[in-house]
Structure 1
Amino acid sequence: MRDVNHGLGYTLWQLQHRIQRMLEREMGALRVTLAQASALARLEEEPGTSSAELARHLLLSPQAVSLIIGRLEAAGHLVRAAPAGGRSRPLALTESGRRILGDAERAIQRVRAAVFGGLDAGEREVLQDLLDRSLAAAKDHG
């Protein structure tokens, strides 16, 4: 029997795909993408982050992040500060960006509850540990 449509890897892929669709639906209701919400979260964690730093953190190309920043800026969710000596223009959340980020975080919690609500805290902790270890092993192999 072939392992293409069966087994742990396929189950993880299916779960990731369903979570992605659920998150996209939730973010769509907020009129942001998941990548945009992730950018807002990073900017809240690290105010003054440059677009290059944001691209590295989000694992996206500088061009993709430039589009994300442009859309968030046009929507009034972030501003670019004047450069401080270099060419880099630090990014900062606006009040609107903070509001959208709060809404996005609540949406993510709803998805998390829908997907993992059937597991108790101990089971979630074990699952997280197993997935973290598997991710670390996969990183070791490229």
Structure 2
Amino acid sequence: MPRKTADITRSPPRRSTASRKGADRPGADGTPRVPGPGEGKRGERGYLGYLLRQAHAAVRLKMERTLADLGVTSPQFAVLTMLNAYPGLSGADVARLTFLTPQTVGVIIRNLERDGAILMTPHPVHGRIQQWTLTPRGATLLKACRERVLELEKRLAKGLDGKAEITIRRWLAGIAAELQES
């Protein structure tokens, strides 16, 4: 198979963000303007699945920035939250509940254990299964994280009345339950 020449495989140079700001149409070089969140297909005309993913990415990025100075990542927060809600979970259970791979959860668990936030105990019947629980340090860390995340939750629900928020929560939970079954 013949090799592609460099000019075929090389991407055109990217224009700076400053040169794209405020552009409502393609630039002089014909490069299309990338719509911002809420515009075009990234807005109300977009696919629901894409809009959910876009919203998730925005929330996760904001959460990462909110928790950064505590030394906690969004996946670590999810693991701490699930272990607080359901003490004694195995790593496999945590992976399923947090939508993370078992390998990722293994790394997170090792780091949280090293930092003294969680503690491993062997399962009383199945000795090979390790169960994880929060330590007092982990509970304190989770509390600090939750205070910040609750501020983000308030921001997410801003403009929603109680009925609308309940409807959205039911809708999101229903999507997860329905699509997991199929």
- Superposition TM-score, scaled by structure 2 size: 0.66
Match of 1:117 in 2: 158
SS of equivalent residue, structure 1 residue 127: helix
Deviates more, 1:97-106 or 1:8-17: 8-17
**Cα distance in 2 for residues equivalent to 1:58 and 1:90:** 16
The structure whose residues are more often helix, as a share, is: 1
- The within-5 A match list for 1:33-48 is 33-48=73-88
- On the 8 A contact 2:76/2:108 being kept in 1, the answer is yes
Paired-residue identity, %: 27
- The within-5 A match list for 1:47-66 is 47-66=87-106
Q: After TM superposition, give the deviation of residue 56 of structure 1 in Å.
A: 2.2
**Regions of 4+ moved over 4 Å:** none
Q: After TM superposition, give the deviation of residue 17 of structure 1 in Å.
A: 2.0
Match of 1:98 in 2: 139
Q: After TM superposition, give the deviation of residue 77 of structure 1 in Å.
A: 0.4
Q: After TM superposition, give the deviation of residue 104 of structure 1 in Å.
A: 1.7
SS of equivalent residue, structure 2 residue 130: coil
Q: Out of 53, 72, 92, which is 1:13 matched to?
A: 53
**Structure 1 residues 93 and 120: CA distance shift in structure 2, 3 A:** same
Q: Which whole-Å deviations, capped at 9, do the CAs of 1:20-58 have from their partners, x for residues lacking one?
A: 111111121221111111111111222221212222222
Q: Which whole-Å deviations, capped at 9, do the CAs of 1:74-100 have from their partners, x for residues lacking one?
A: 111011124545112221211110011
SS of equivalent residue, structure 1 residue 90: strand
- Superposition TM-score, scaled by structure 1 size: 0.82
SS of equivalent residue, structure 1 residue 81: strand
**Cα distance in 1 for residues equivalent to 2:66 and 2:95:** 23
SS of equivalent residue, structure 1 residue 60: coil
**Structure 1 residues 119 and 99: CA distance shift in structure 2, 3 A:** same
- On the 8 A contact 2:122/2:130 being kept in 1, the answer is yes
SS of equivalent residue, structure 1 residue 7: coil
Which structure has more relative contact order (CA 8 Å, sep 6+)? It is 1
Would you say how many aligned residue pairs link Structure 1 and Structure 2? 139
- On the 8 A contact 2:67/2:148 being kept in 1, the answer is yes
**Structure 1 residues 137 and 108: CA distance shift in structure 2, 3 A:** same
**Cα distance in 1 for residues equivalent to 2:178 and 2:122:** 42
Is residue 2:130 matched to residue 1:89?
A: yes
